[in-house]
Amino acid sequence: MRRLLLSVFAVFCACSWAFGQVGTEKQPVEITASGDTNYQNGLGIAHGNVVIHAGDADIYSDSATYNPKTHDIVAEGHVRIYRTVGTFVGEKAIYNTETKEIRAVDIRTDKQPYLVAGEKITTISEGAFLVSKGAFTTHDSDKPDFRLQAKTMRIYEGDRVIFSNVTFYVRNVPIFWWPYMYQSLDEAFSYMISPAYLSSWGPSILGRVTMPITDDIKGVFRLDYRYRRGVAVGFEPDVRFGTDKQSWARIRTYFLKDENPDINRTSIARPDISEGRYRVSLQSRTKFTEDISGIANITKLSDEFILQDFFQGEFQLNPKPDNIVAVTKTNPNYTLTAIGRFQANNFFETTERLPEVALDVKRLPLFGGPIFYEGETGLAELRRNFPKGSTNDDYSTLRLDSFHQFTFPNTNFGWLSVVPRVGFRATYYDTTRDLGKTIFTRSTDPLIPDFIVPDNIPLFKGGNKLRTVFNGGVESSFKITRTWEGAQSNALGLDGLKHVIQPFANFSWVSSNISDPAEILQFDRYRGSTQLLPIDFPQFTSVDSIDSWTILRFGVRNRLLTRRDDATVSWMDIETYMDVNFDNPFDRTQYSNLVNRMSFTPVPWASFGISSQVPVFEKGFTEVNTNVNIQPIANLQISFAHRYLNSAPFFDNSSLYVFGGYYRINDNWGIGISEQYEGTTRILEQQRYSIYRDLTSWVASVGAIIRDNGGVKEYGVLLTFTLKALPKFSFDLNFDPAGSEQTQ
């Protein structure tokens, strides 16, 4: 092997063989070759496995020529140029050691996480390249699954790519064409084109572009078109501010002139809706100091159905968005909060708090002793506003509430935990209900409190009232354990077994000086539920529904533990309990339902859970919720759930079946299914079927959805493309302007 060292010293060579960035100290160019190296007419020429080191560039080729006057290196044959900014591969390239410009013909470049190829690549500036007749992809293959084919591409490293006359191909099939396209390489930039179809929309295109506006503000621009509904636009800035940018604010706006606002794909009748429809919302969290922070969650809607019509994923999670502003001071011992809650949308019922100030004192040892203290005190101006047009009477009051409780946790005999408690609460209302003038029928159902006054009953106001409440009780439990090291079974996932039994009992006594809570105007009120209510304070939060009670809750917890992967895991958990109602205003039977909850995970690929409550000694309702998740083989996942509810107050009978599954046929194909069937109405409420195709760099899916809303059916087609390597570049078919970020 022969080596040619081109020195920077003029005494060694009359020509300057040095290079470097302009204004920097020059460095030598080192050329190594396995063949001939010589000088001809002032040029350095090398043949055979040529290796050139020039600053931050390493060049490999079959042959090369270096001109020290122009600082050009001409490399030919299996050319590879390695620089910190990327890798260039081709048959011929010209590299300037001074300007670091690359001029190449038919060359490819590796710019993680993407690849570029073209007939000609020219350096525009440091880290910037112009590609003629180029292809852009993230699939590292000579036959990529997808590519963007453009007449010209301008690539600015770590910043952006600008395409002109560009076509998007999946394999060799053209999908989309743009005269001009801008793709940022910054995580803050993304865009999404979502072709969609929904029977209430018709064929639709949903567009979203996300881009940085300043270093601390990112904006999302939306432009949607629905054949049956028209054009919609939106702007959503996301702002970071404050110390270390720990504070943030997100604003969402969306406006459209609905060409068919009377379209209703549900079985529930709607009032007339204006063509002008919109949503404006603000979510914010501000850190004022280390211990003081504020939140804002405000949403203004044009009508009560806009989320259901255009933001279905959001509607499923939060159909009636709240409007709250709050400031909180936190301390290891207490939390002080000021809350403002208001009715921004008069078509939703709202309990306004204008304002409410609350002090919560955490459970603390009193004077460092064995007795613990906890408390809550709040002052609130409350108003319950019914929807506009309702025949119900709005009502309001000023409420001052203060609660204080002492507990004495201790362990007797070294194994019996006993926690007695005693507390006091005083609540002042400046307005109450005059029961002498109020006529209503009290419920005879023992599972419905008889003090509930129907909302449609005329309101007759009474004077102020001070309600006092004394509470006391004791909670006790102990544990018994036994271990079986011989319990070994691979099939059942057992490596030893430890059984922990914990019987427990909780006695709760409450006495109020008000014999009938119906005279208290209800704000933090009792709401119908299938679950047993908390019988402790402050866990019981329905402050205005507090009544006298005497309840004993007892049961037993069983835990079966085993070893798995060098850790202790729960193999099976079972909790069973019930109430003895000596005096319970919320359940006037002597005994509550028997509640049972079980979770069973014998092996990592299978789990089973059941939550039930059944009447044992008294008449009541039945609820059984079951779920099963299994992966019997590596390529198959199956889930099943069933909810059964019968004779429960406040709720309709239900027997809901939910089935889902996914089967991976091979490395490239998969199928999915999801169905929801209501047995009481015999309606298949929702069906979703999908076929997935792994395109190496992309995952594509085609599916269909059918929804039956009480006899009114809605149809949709789903087509999604998800790019693995560059997720900020995506196509998606979705039924929500938020795209795949929303649950459907």
Render pLDDT for 425-444 as a digit per residue (tens, 0 to 9). 999 999 999 999 999 999 99
Render pLDDT for 20-75 as a digit per residue (tens, 0 to 9). 332 333 567 888 888 888 888 778 888 888 998 887 788 999 999 988 888 888 98
R_g (Cα) of the chain, nearest Å: 36
Question: What gap in Å lies between CA 364 and CA 331, rounded to an integer?
Answer: 12
User: 175 forms bridges with which residues in the sheet?
Assistant: none
Q: Which position has the higher pLDDT, 699 or 481?
A: 481
pLDDT value, residue 563: 92
3 state DSSP class of 314 = helix
Which region among 27-31, 319-323, 548-552, 605-609 has the lowest average model confidence (pLDDT)?
27-31
pLDDT value, residue 733: 44
Which region among 74-88, 218-232, 274-288 has the lowest average model confidence (pLDDT)?
74-88
Q: How confident is the model at residue 122 (pLDDT cuts 50, 70, 90)?
A: confident
Which one, of 183, 268, 191, lies nearest residue 222 by Cα?
191
Which one, of 117, 72, 113, lies nearest residue 90 by Cα?
117
Question: What gap in Å lies between CA 91 and CA 75, rounded to an integer?
Answer: 8
Contact in structure between 727 and 741 (CB atoms under 8 Å): no
Sign of CA dihedral 422, 428, 429, 432: positive
Q: What one-character-per-residue DSSP string does 204-258 give?
A: EEEEEEEEESSSSEEEEEEEEEETTTEEEEEEEEEEEESGGG-EEEEEEEEEEE-
Which region among 11-20, 126-135, 508-517 has the lowest average model confidence (pLDDT)?
11-20
Question: What gap in Å lies between CA 72 and CA 83, rounded to an integer?
Answer: 16
pLDDT value, residue 9: 25
Which region among 209-213, 239-243, 398-402, 613-617 has the lowest average model confidence (pLDDT)?
209-213
Q: How far is CA 82 from the centre of its chain?
A: 41
Over residues 12-23, the mean pLDDT reads: 29
What CA–CA distances, in Å, run from 662 to 640, 665, 667? Answer: 12, 9, 14
Q: Which position has the higher pLDDT, 18 or 541?
A: 541
DSSP assigned state of 591: B
Q: Go through 395-422 and write b for each residue having 16 or more CB atoms within 10 A of its CB, e for each that does not.
A: bbbebebebbbbbeeeeeeeeeeebebe
Residues 6+ apart with CB under 8 A from 360: 334, 335, 336, 337, 375, 376, 538
Averaged pLDDT score across all residues of the chain: 86
pLDDT surpassing 70 at residue 199: yes
236's tokens: 């959503």
Q: How confident is the model at residue 583 (pLDDT cuts 50, 70, 90)?
A: very high
pLDDT value, residue 697: 62
pLDDT value, residue 230: 94
Pairing of strands 190-198, 729-731: parallel
Render pLDDT for 619-675 as a digit per residue (tens, 0 to 9). 889 999 999 999 999 899 999 999 999 999 999 999 999 999 999 998 888 999 999
Q: How confident is the model at residue 728 (pLDDT cuts 50, 70, 90)?
A: very low
pLDDT value, residue 738: 45
User: 224 forms bridges with which residues in the sheet?
Assistant: 206, 232
Q: How confident is the model at residue 172 (pLDDT cuts 50, 70, 90)?
A: confident
Residues 6+ apart with CB under 8 A from 85: 111, 127, 157
Question: What gap in Å lies between CA 398 and CA 550, rounded to an integer?
Answer: 29
Please report which helix (H) or strand (E) contains residue 309, including its range.
helix 306-310
Over residues 568-575, the mean pLDDT reads: 95
Q: How confident is the model at residue 410 (pLDDT cuts 50, 70, 90)?
A: very high
Q: How confident is the model at residue 185 (pLDDT cuts 50, 70, 90)?
A: low
17's tokens: 């063989």
Contact in structure between 249 and 230 (CB atoms under 8 Å): no
Sign of CA dihedral 66, 71, 76, 82: positive
What CA–CA distances, in Å, run from 186 to 156, 211, 227, 382? Answer: 11, 9, 33, 48
Query: Highest-confidence range of 202-211, 355-364, 437-446, by mean pLDDT?
Result: 355-364
Render pLDDT for 672-713 as a digit per residue (tens, 0 to 9). 999 999 999 999 999 988 888 876 666 677 788 888 887 788
Residue % of the chain over a pLDDT of 70: 88
Residues 6+ apart with CB under 8 A from 93: 74, 75, 79, 81, 102, 103, 104, 105, 107
pLDDT value, residue 600: 96
pLDDT value, residue 11: 24
pLDDT value, residue 84: 64
Q: How confident is the model at residue 112 (pLDDT cuts 50, 70, 90)?
A: low
* Main-chain dihedrals φ then ψ at residue 471, nearest 5 degrees: -135, 150
DSSP assigned state of 522: P
In the chain, what are the domain boundaries? 1-100, 322-390
pLDDT value, residue 13: 29
Which one, of 333, 334, 351, lies nearest residue 342 by Cα?
351
pLDDT value, residue 511: 97
pLDDT value, residue 35: 82
Which region among 19-28, 145-154, 254-263, 398-407 has the lowest average model confidence (pLDDT)?
19-28
For 1-100, CATH gives 2.60.450
Q: What share of the chain is helix, strand, coil (3-state, %, to 5)?
A: 5, 60, 35
pLDDT value, residue 610: 97
What CA–CA distances, in Å, run from 534 to 508, 531, 538, 690? Answer: 10, 9, 9, 43
pLDDT surpassing 80 at residue 414: yes
pLDDT value, residue 131: 84
192's tokens: 């999404």
Contact in structure between 351 and 379 (CB atoms under 8 Å): no
Longest dimension (CA), the chain: 117
pLDDT value, residue 16: 26
Peptide bond just before 387 cis, omega within 30 deg: no
pLDDT value, residue 22: 29
